[in-house]
């Protein structure tokens, strides 16, 4: 009793305590996220080279002008958009199917839910290495499977061809992240009250009508949130490309993050690299705005 | 009746196909790690090791600095988890329970920071770390990882603290305990499950991070597992046996962890998405 009183007497007003308790987290965010993003922008207006940071000069929007005329930049933008749209669309379809299956009662459901988490949990560089070996032009098991099934007549250099390399990356990405999408959507499905389906059945609605009139509209908010996460993640894809192809062959898999990394840490051009980074940030910002707009329409 | 049975079988076949696709890359990795060198380069690739060869495991641990990578990753990921959870327990409690202005602004700020692409902050952070002599150190990565996991951790814990019934706190308040005392002695023990769930998610995020680790810690002795494995040297032929063995060693504990804490991980991951 005595002890408690003494603590009370040193007690600080609640709102001050509140600010004190959030300060460490806020300081980290300000110092290591907000300040750097502002600095990336200011770096992008200079010609800084990493080896000579003190010799950097202000050059206005020159880096951006250079990028607008840079074919490699547009190529990376197209690759990134293609990768993002195709892989997120595939993940949505496959993930939704998985969610519908996992939402049904059947033996071994727990096992399926656990198995589905594993690809999500492992480092991307490891899944990328695994897939790289499976795609190998001579020792790869994918060539072996496709040849046995009669789908190809000879081994193909999947990662060595500009036609297939980006698709290979997309498949490896879908393998790793569709399960995650499935779990998010499953959680959304489980919040739909069963009574809704029951009363719809009483009213004579068939399976397909129940799906489009109940499941689809009620899962929409969860689906949009899942799509935001996945789209932003896919848009900044880096690890997977770095390990599987390094952006090749012939820049056919180079994404914006990969291009920015190459300019920053291989060419040591911090000015131009930061300009690409700023553009990625702006793209990501616009994508978020679109989704937030869609979410608001949903809620109205 | 017959039709029902048939569609049932079709359903299980579909589920089985899903599982096979998910598991197959792991299966391939494991058998590759046990294949003897002479079998590794056979065309077509064989689906079972001709004999169980442990050389790749021995080589990953003795000829390569794989053990160092594991140690580095463990130090960085565990410190990050401890620091992020510690810092956000306070923040989460304050945001869930205490009355002060600007709470929504703070949560919105955290959410928007969680959407930052790593590449958009890597160049200034690199310069900062260089200036502070934190390149090729544990601390540089720990600080960065703590910051990038704070949003996730803060949201999870705030949501969790809100679910704890307020009665206990009110009783403590009537007893004359200060808010801080109530937090440490009453709320934290009750919040242990939520804190644990958050810790698992932060740990996995820190353990798997690649870009900052790749750019900040370029010395081999300070590399973490994801970078170490991506950089396993090989001039012409990649050392697939060693890489597979190392991957199996990294992936197995993660699989065990996922299987053990499946429910917690799923609830932690989905809490935010479902509530919107």
Determine the structural domain holding residue A286 and report its residue range: 69-299
Best residue in A22, A54, A113, A143 to probe B by mutation, most B CBs within 10 Å?
A: A22
Q: What is the pLDDT of residue B71?
A: 96
Q: Do B273 and A187 touch (CB under 8 A)?
A: yes
- Nearest chain B residue (CA) to A171: B21
Per DSSP, B221 falls in state: G
d(CA B160, CA B163): 5
At residue B183, does pLDDT exceed 90?
no
d(CA A184, CA A229): 10
- Nearest chain A residue (CA) to B9: A106
> Measured between CB atoms, does B17 come within 8 Å of chain A?
no
d(CA B270, CA A102): 15
A260 to chain B nearest CA, in Å? Answer: 7
We report the CATH number of the domain holding residue A114 as 1.10.3720.10
At residue A4, does pLDDT exceed 50?
no
**Contact B191/B89 with Cβ under 8 angstroms?**
yes
> Measured between CB atoms, does B213 come within 8 Å of chain A?
no
Strand partners, A46: A58
Instruction: Please state which CATH class domain B64-275 belongs to.
Output: mainly alpha
CATH 1.10.3720.10 positions along chain B are: 64-275
- Number of domains chain A is built from: 1
In a domain, A217, yes or no: yes
Q: What is the mean pLDDT of residues B217-229?
A: 93
Q: What is the pLDDT of residue A127?
A: 94
In a domain, A31, yes or no: no
Q: Do A11 and B128 touch (CB under 8 A)?
A: no
> Measured between CB atoms, does B6 come within 8 Å of chain A?
no
Query: Which pLDDT band holds residue A199 (cuts at 50, 70, 90)?
Result: confident
In a domain, A259, yes or no: yes
The region that residue B191 occupies, defined by phi over 0 for left and psi between -120 and 50 for alpha, beta otherwise, is: alpha
In a domain, A153, yes or no: yes
ipTM over 0.85: yes
Choice among A144-148, B60-64, B141-145, B163-167 with the minimum mean pLDDT:
B163-167
CB-based burial of residue B7 (10 Å sphere; 0-12 exposed, 13-18 middle, 19+ buried)? exposed
Strand partners, A269: A49
Q: What is the pLDDT of residue B90?
A: 92
Chain B, residues 100-159, CB within 8 A of chain A, namely 100-101, 103, 106, 109-110, 112-113, 115-128, 143-144, 146-148, 150-151, 154
Query: Which pLDDT band holds residue A1 (cuts at 50, 70, 90)?
Result: very low
Residue entry with tokens 């359903």: B11
B69 contacts on A by Cβ (under 8 Å): none
Q: What is the mean pLDDT of residues B121-149?
A: 95
Residue entry with tokens 């998010």: A184
Among A157-161, A172-176, A196-200, B260-264, which range has the highest average pLDDT? A172-176
At residue B276, does pLDDT exceed 50?
no
In a domain, A17, yes or no: no
At residue B70, does pLDDT exceed 90?
yes
At residue B163, does pLDDT exceed 50?
yes
In a domain, A20, yes or no: no
Q: Do A33 and B121 touch (CB under 8 A)?
A: yes
Q: What is the pLDDT of residue B273?
A: 61
- Nearest chain B residue (CA) to A29: B147
Q: Do B122 and A264 touch (CB under 8 A)?
A: yes
At residue A7, does pLDDT exceed 50?
no
Q: What is the pLDDT of residue A273?
A: 95
Among A148-152, A153-157, A174-178, which range has the highest average pLDDT? A174-178
At residue A6, does pLDDT exceed 60?
no
Residues A255-273: pLDDT tens digits?
999 999 999 999 999 999 9
Residues A18-73: pLDDT tens digits?
899 999 999 999 999 999 999 999 999 999 998 888 888 899 899 999 999 999 99
At residue B236, does pLDDT exceed 60?
no
Q: What is the pLDDT of residue B275?
A: 53
Residue entry with tokens 């509530």: B275
Q: What is the pLDDT of residue B233?
A: 66
- Nearest chain B residue (CA) to A244: B230
* Cα dihedral: A221, A227, A229, A235 (round 10): -160
Q: Do B276 and A295 touch (CB under 8 A)?
A: yes
DSSP string computed for chain A? -HHHHHHHHT---HHHHHHHHHHHHHHHHIIIIIHHHHHHHHHTTB--BTTBGGG--B-TTHHHHHHHT-HHHHHHHHHHHHHHHHHHHHHHHHHHHHHHHHTS--TTHHHHHHHHHHHHHS-HHHHHHHHHHHT-TTT-HHHHHHHHTTS-SS---GGG-TTTHHHHHHHHHHHHHHHHHHHHHHHHHHTS-HHHHHHHHHTT--HHHHIIIIIHHHHHHHHHHHHHHHHHHHHT--HHHHHHTTT-STTTT--HHHHHHIIIIIS-BHHHHHHHHHHHHHHHHHHHHHHHHHHHHHH-
pLDDT: which is higher, B176 or A24: A24
Q: What is the pLDDT of residue B176?
A: 80
Q: What CA–CA distances, in Å, run from B6 to A206, B1, B11, B13?
A: 21, 9, 9, 11
Instruction: Supply the angle between the helices A35-43 and B119-131 in degrees, to the nearest 10.
Output: 100
d(CA A81, CA A291): 16
In a domain, A64, yes or no: no
d(CA B228, CA B262): 28
- Nearest chain B residue (CA) to A22: B91
Helical (H) or strand (E) element with B190: helix B188-208
3-class state of residue B175 by DSSP:
coil
Query: Mean pLDDT in chain B?
Result: 88
CA distance from start to end of chain B: 42
B124 contacts on A by Cβ (under 8 Å): 35-36, 39-40, 43, 274
Q: What is the pLDDT of residue B130?
A: 94
In a domain, A196, yes or no: yes
């Amino acid at each position: 009793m005595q002890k408690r009183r003494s603590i009370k007497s040193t007690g600080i007003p609640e709102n001050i305590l509140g600010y004190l308790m959030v300060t460490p987290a806020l300081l980290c965010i300000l110092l290591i996220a907000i300040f750097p993003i502002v600095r990336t922008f200011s770096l992008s207006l200079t010609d800084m080279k990493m080896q000579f940071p003190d010799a950097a000069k202000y050059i206005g929007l020159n880096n951006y002008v250079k990028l607008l005329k840079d074919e490699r930049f547009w190529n990376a933008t197209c690759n990134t958009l293609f990768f993002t749209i195709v892989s997120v669309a595939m993940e949505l379809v496959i993930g939704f199917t998985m969610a519908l299956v996992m939402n049904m009662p059947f033996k071994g459901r727990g096992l399926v839910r656990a198995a589905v988490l594993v690809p999500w949990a492992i480092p991307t560089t490891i899944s990328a290495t695994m897939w790289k070996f499976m795609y190998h032009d001579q020792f790869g098991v994918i060539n072996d499977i496709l040849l046995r099934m009669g789908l190809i007549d000879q081994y193909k250099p999947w990662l060595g061809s500009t036609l297939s390399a980006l698709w290979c990356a997309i498949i490896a990405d879908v393998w790793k992240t569709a399960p995650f999408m499935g779990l998010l959507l499953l959680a959304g499905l489980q919040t739909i009250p069963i009574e809704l389906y029951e009363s719809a059945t009483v009213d004579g609605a068939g399976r397909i009508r129940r799906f489009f009139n109940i499941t689809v509209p009620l899962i929409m908010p969860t689906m949009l949130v899942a799509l935001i996460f996945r789209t932003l993640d896919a848009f900044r894809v880096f690890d997977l490309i770095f390990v599987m192809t390094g952006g090749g062959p012939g820049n056919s898999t180079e994404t914006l993050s990969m291009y920015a990394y190459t300019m920053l840490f291989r060419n040591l051009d911090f000015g131009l690299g930061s300009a690409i980074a700023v553009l990625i940030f702006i793209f990501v910002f616009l994508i978020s705005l679109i989704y937030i707009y869609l979410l608001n329409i949903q809620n109205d | 009746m017959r039709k029902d049975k048939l569609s049932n079988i079709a359903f299980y076949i579909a589920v089985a196909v899903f599982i096979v696709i998910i598991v197959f890359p792991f299966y391939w990795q494991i058998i590759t790690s046990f294949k003897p060198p002479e079998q590794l380069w056979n065309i077509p690739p064989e689906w079972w090791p001709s004999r169980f060869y442990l050389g790749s495991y021995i080589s990953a641990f003795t000829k390569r600095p794989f053990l160092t990578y594991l140690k580095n990753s463990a130090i960085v990921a565990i410190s990050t988890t401890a620091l992020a959870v510690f810092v956000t327990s306070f923040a989460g409690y304050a945001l869930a329970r205490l009355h002060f202005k600007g709470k929504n602004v703070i949560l919105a700020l955290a959410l928007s920071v969680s959407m930052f692409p790593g590449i958009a902050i890597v160049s200034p952070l690199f310069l900062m770390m260089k200036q502070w002599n934190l390149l090729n150190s544990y601390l540089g990565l720990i600080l960065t990882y703590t910051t990038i996991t704070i949003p996730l951790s803060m949201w999870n814990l705030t949501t969790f603290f809100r679910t704890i019934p307020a009665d206990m706190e009110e009783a403590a308040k009537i007893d004359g305990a200060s808010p801080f005392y109530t937090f440490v002695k009453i709320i934290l023990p009750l919040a242990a499950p939520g804190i644990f769930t958050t810790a698992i998610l932060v740990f996995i995020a820190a353990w798997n991070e690649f870009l900052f680790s790749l750019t900040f810690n370029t010395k081999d002795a300070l590399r973490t597992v994801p970078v170490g494995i991506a950089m396993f040297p090989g001039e012409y032929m990649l050392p697939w046996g060693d890489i597979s063995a190392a991957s199996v060693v990294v992936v197995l504990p993660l699989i065990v962890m996922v299987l053990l804490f499946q429910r917690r991980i799923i609830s932690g991951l989905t809490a935010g998405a479902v509530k919107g």
